[in-house]
Copies of this chain bind each other. A is one copy, B any other.
Amino acid sequence: MTGRPSPLARPFPAMPEIGGLRIGCARAGYRDWDREDLALFAFPQGTTVAGLTTRSLCPSPEVELCRARLAGGRARALVVNAGNSNAFTGAAGRAAAEAQSAEVARLLGCAPEEVFQASTGVIGVPLPVARAVAAVRAAHARLGDATLERAAAAIMTTDTFPKGASAEALCNGHRVRIAGIAKGSGMIAPDMATMLAFLFTDAAVAPAFLGELLAEANQSSFAAITVDGDTSTSDTLLAFATGATGGTPMVGRESPGADAFAAALGDVCRALAVLVVRDGEGARKLIEVRVRGAVSDESAHRVAMAIANSPLVKTALAGGDANWGRVVMAVGKAGEPAERDRLSIRLGGVEVARAGAVAPDYDEAPVARHLAGETVEIAVDLGLGTGRAVVWTCDLTEDYIRINAAYRS
């Protein structure tokens, strides 16, 4: 599926070793392509897991399996299939997913309930079970061979570059590492988590607390991005903590080092989320929308999302057009408390509108220069309260149409 890399692509960063994590990749051949499309991740005994999945009411069987298995809080493996989402495939798809995780459990000598699973790609075609099982065996035979970069490449679909981010934190005298990879460039309007993102840490963290921190980090990262307002049937965000650094597991805010760990987790999630937007289908510009002065943070978030999801705002920015009237339109349609005559708007730091009309001394030249760049900042002040939010999106270009009008062909 991948053509030229997005003009907003970033090189894959150097990633730390995560103690206890072993990776193997394989070619399942889910599509007619010449590349690896399955990644298997194995974890040592004692690894904890937490996760968030799509709020879609039509979730894939993989999402259902993850939801059920998250209750146990323990993980020994993660398997990811790219090219086929296995969503909306009824009993056949469910059986295929279960057969693949049963094989992983057999190979690693663990319970199927400790195997996590995600699939991404076309909806409505059952995962071909023979390929899925054979590829898992091949990946298992090579466990330890693959890097996170290679795994990040193996899980891509319409993605144009592999996405990774990492951070370190000092927790109670132990230096811990968090590494994450993500995929996704269309059907991105995560209502809970976006497409697929996986975090690995060698810290020791109790599953409930890991879940709490993950939910918090998600709010200002994956839940704050949108490419096209469409929410996937397969969105999955999972965090695995191997505990390889040793020490007492963190169990709550009061645990030594918890704040540093939470900050690092938030950094990795935010970095990955922005990379997903940078690979937004057809994207040529990264757009940051900041809203303040709302009656609450939630209200600010909804106004920011109304702007970030407006096709008219996004096409104007694709054209480098300082058409701030469309930002007004999006604020007006958001359904959140707003008063036209208190509204002010800045583009790239330049005030374009104030108190319900164009700014008296507005000069379009510096704004046009800002819009010609790779990163666009839209700041809206509603002038009502102290609620604020930041979300990220990309512009809407003819390439988005081209990619999606021909996706299956």
Residue on B with the closest CB to A313? B230
Are A401 and B409 in contact, with the CB atoms below 8 A? Answer: no
Among A28-36, A250-258, A287-295, A352-360, which stretch is in contact with chain B?
A352-360
Asked if A164 CB lies within 8 Å of chain B CBs, one says no
Residue on B with the closest CB to A126? B357
Complex: A315 Cα to B334 Cα, angstroms: 24
Can you tell how many copies of this chain the complex includes? 2
**Across the interface, which residues of B come within 8 angstroms of A401, CB to CB?**
315, 318, 396-398, 400-401
Are B230 and A333 in contact, with the CB atoms below 8 A? Answer: yes
**Across the interface, which residues of B come within 8 angstroms of A339, CB to CB?**
57
Asked if A92 CB lies within 8 Å of chain B CBs, one says yes
Cβ-closest 9 pairs across A and B: A123-B325, A319-B405, A90-B357, A58-B332, A56-B332, A315-B404, A231-B333, A124-B325, A398-B398
**Across the interface, which residues of B come within 8 angstroms of A315, CB to CB?**
400-401, 404-405
Interface of chain A: mostly helix, strand, loop or mixed: loop
Complex: A353 Cα to B233 Cα, angstroms: 16
Complex: A305 Cα to B186 Cα, angstroms: 20
Are B318 and A405 in contact, with the CB atoms below 8 A? Answer: yes
Are A189 and B230 in contact, with the CB atoms below 8 A? Answer: no
Are B328 and A358 in contact, with the CB atoms below 8 A? Answer: no
Residue on B with the closest CB to A234? B329
Asked if A326 CB lies within 8 Å of chain B CBs, one says yes
Complex: A59 Cα to B89 Cα, angstroms: 46
Which of B228, B233, B323, B331 is the one whose CB lies under 8 Å from A328? B233
Complex: A222 Cα to B90 Cα, angstroms: 37
Asked if A244 CB lies within 8 Å of chain B CBs, one says no
**Across the interface, which residues of B come within 8 angstroms of A408, CB to CB?**
316, 321, 323
Which of B91, B187, B316, B343 is the one whose CB lies under 8 Å from A404? B316
Interface residues of A in 153-193 (CB under 8 A from B): 186-187, 189, 191
Asked if A87 CB lies within 8 Å of chain B CBs, one says yes
Question: Do A328 and B404 form a contact, CB below 8 Å, given A88-B357, A340-B59?
Answer: no
**Across the interface, which residues of B come within 8 angstroms of A229, CB to CB?**
229, 309-311
Are A89 and B357 in contact, with the CB atoms below 8 A? Answer: yes
Are B58 and A88 in contact, with the CB atoms below 8 A? Answer: no
Classify chain A: how many residues form its interface, as a range. 35 or more
Complex: A187 Cα to B328 Cα, angstroms: 12
Q: Separation in Å of the A301 CB from the closest CB of chain B?
A: 16
Are B92 and A357 in contact, with the CB atoms below 8 A? Answer: yes
Are A90 and B341 in contact, with the CB atoms below 8 A? Answer: yes
A-B contact sample (12 more), CB < 8 A, given A230-B329, A321-B408: A54-B332, A59-B340, A90-B355, A124-B357, A187-B329, A228-B311, A229-B310, A318-B401, A319-B404, A398-B398, A398-B401, A400-B401
A-B CB contact pairs (8 Å), 15 listed: A58-B328, A58-B340, A87-B328, A88-B356, A89-B358, A122-B323, A123-B325, A123-B328, A125-B358, A230-B310, A230-B326, A232-B329, A233-B329, A318-B401, A321-B409
Are B311 and A356 in contact, with the CB atoms below 8 A? Answer: no
Are A358 and B319 in contact, with the CB atoms below 8 A? Answer: no
Interface residues of A in 269-315 (CB under 8 A from B): 309-312, 315
Which of B88, B341, B407 is the one whose CB lies under 8 Å from A340? B88
Interface residues of A in 383-407 (CB under 8 A from B): 396-398, 400-402, 404-407
| Interface membership of chain A positions 22-53, coded 1 if the CB is closer than 8 angstroms to chain B and 0 otherwise | 00000000000000000000000000000000
**Across the interface, which residues of B come within 8 angstroms of A191, CB to CB?**
333
Are A312 and B230 in contact, with the CB atoms below 8 A? Answer: yes
Complex: A88 Cα to B331 Cα, angstroms: 12
**Across the interface, which residues of B come within 8 angstroms of A93, CB to CB?**
357
Asked if A324 CB lies within 8 Å of chain B CBs, one says yes
**Across the interface, which residues of B come within 8 angstroms of A319, CB to CB?**
404-407, 409
Asked if A66 CB lies within 8 Å of chain B CBs, one says no
